[in-house]
Structure 1
């Protein structure tokens, strides 16, 4: 599903009205002719489509992210798949005011980068990576990863953000990232490690164990890489449930 199939960012259009449009055959912006809704709402939709197309021509999905509910921001993904950055962090604890970020991994365009505290993990490097991304995808990053980075590195993370936890819940997929991966059939290495192990590994590295850092980095990278196939699964399933189910049969 692409943004051009969506109407709920328009003020006054909820899921019921959007579904009514789809069921009437208006499944794309190009098919909207104002006949299914009232005149005032039709004018709003026309204005939204005109402005929205200009944003898409620039590759900018941020105006849509601001108007979509968190559980519906998966709709942004197909438009900017290649410019999507999957991000995960490891820390020494849960409180950004007194704990540190130890590693940050970012996966984009088939490449995974990992930055390490005390080596190459800086606000400048993170800022440049995020600025070059059209969409940010995390798991529980809205409550944890993003606020942590903003606090510890004085960043303003403004890139449009899909927190996979919310569309997963919409599909009835509950639990942590590793549990959901198992539920949808995604394999991972280092399946026996947890967030507590990540803290332990960092402290072992600080005491001189380089192999502990190698394990921590690979654990962090696995979290990040595995979000891409999970995003694909979630987007496909919600496409079928939300969009295809409402389209008129041919």
Structure 2
């Protein structure tokens, strides 16, 4: 599903109205002809579509992200798949005011980078990486990763953001990232460790154990890379449940 199939970013269009448009064969912006809805709403939709094409030509999905509910922002993914950045962080605790970020991994365009505190993890480096991304994807990052980075590195992260926690919940997929991975059949290459283990590994590295850092980085990178196949699964399932279901004759 692409942004051009969506009408709910328009003020006054909810899921019921959008579904009615789809059921009447209006499944793409190009097919909208002003029918099905009233004149005032039709004018709003026309204006939204005109502006929407301009934003898509510029590769900017932020206006759509601002208008979509968190559970529906997965719709942005297909338009900017290659410029999507999957991000995960490890920290020494849960409080950004007194704990530190230890590693940050970013996966984009098939390439994974990991930055380590005290080596190459800096505010400037993070800013440059995020500026090159059209879409940011995390798991529980809306409440944790993003505010943690903003606090620790004095950043303002404004990249359109898909927090996988919310579309997963829409599909009834609850629990942590690793539990959901197992439920949908995504396997990990490395042994599973916990967030508490991640803290322990960092402290062992600080005491001189380089192998502990290697394990921590592998764990961080696995969390990050596995979000891409998870989003692929979630987007496919929601496409079927939300879009294709509306197009099927009853």
**TM (normalized to structure 2)?**
0.99
SS of the aligned residue for 2:54 comes to helix
SS of the aligned residue for 2:130 comes to helix
SS of the aligned residue for 1:245 comes to helix
**Displacement of 1:247:** 1.1
Alignment of 1:188-203 (within 5 A): 188-203=188-203
Return the alpha-carbon distance in structure 2 between the equivalents of residues 11 and 115 of structure 1.
Answer: 41
SS of the aligned residue for 1:102 comes to strand
SS of the aligned residue for 2:7 comes to coil
Return the alpha-carbon distance in structure 2 between the equivalents of residues 138 and 209 of structure 1.
Answer: 29
Return the alpha-carbon distance in structure 1 between the equivalents of residues 230 and 195 of structure 2.
Answer: 19
Alpha-carbon distance change, 191 to 173 in structure 1, aligned in 2, over 3 angstroms: farther
Query: Paired residue for 1:124?
Result: 124
Query: Paired residue for 1:173?
Result: 173
Q: Is the 8 A contact 1:87 1:224 kept in 2?
A: yes
Which runs of no fewer than 5 residues in structure 2 stay unpaired? none
**Displacement of 1:157:** 0.3
**Displacement of 1:192:** 2.8
Alignment of 1:67-78 (within 5 A): 67-78=67-78
How many residues of Structure 1 are paired with residues of Structure 2 in the alignment?
A: 250
Alignment of 1:62-141 (within 5 A): 62-141=62-141
Query: Paired residue for 2:50?
Result: 50
**TM (normalized to structure 1)?**
0.99
SS of the aligned residue for 1:246 comes to helix
Query: Paired residue for 1:217?
Result: 217
Q: Is the 8 A contact 2:25 2:247 kept in 1?
A: yes
Return the alpha-carbon distance in structure 2 between the equivalents of residues 222 and 140 of structure 1.
Answer: 16
Deviations 1:209-230 (A, max 9, x none): 0000000000000000000000
Runs (4+) off by over 6 Å: none
Return the alpha-carbon distance in structure 1 between the equivalents of residues 194 and 111 of structure 2.
Answer: 24
Return the alpha-carbon distance in structure 2 between the equivalents of residues 191 and 61 of structure 1.
Answer: 36
Query: Paired residue for 1:241?
Result: 241
**Displacement of 1:191:** 3.7
Return the alpha-carbon distance in structure 2 between the equivalents of residues 88 and 61 of structure 1.
Answer: 21
1:185 matched to 2:169? The reply is no
Q: Is the 8 A contact 1:135 1:160 kept in 2?
A: yes
Query: Paired residue for 1:207?
Result: 207
Return the alpha-carbon distance in structure 2 between the equivalents of residues 35 and 100 of structure 1.
Answer: 55
Deviations 1:116-173 (A, max 9, x none): 0000000000000000000000000000000000000000000000000000000000
SS of the aligned residue for 2:246 comes to coil
Return the alpha-carbon distance in structure 2 between the equivalents of residues 80 and 14 of structure 1.
Answer: 24
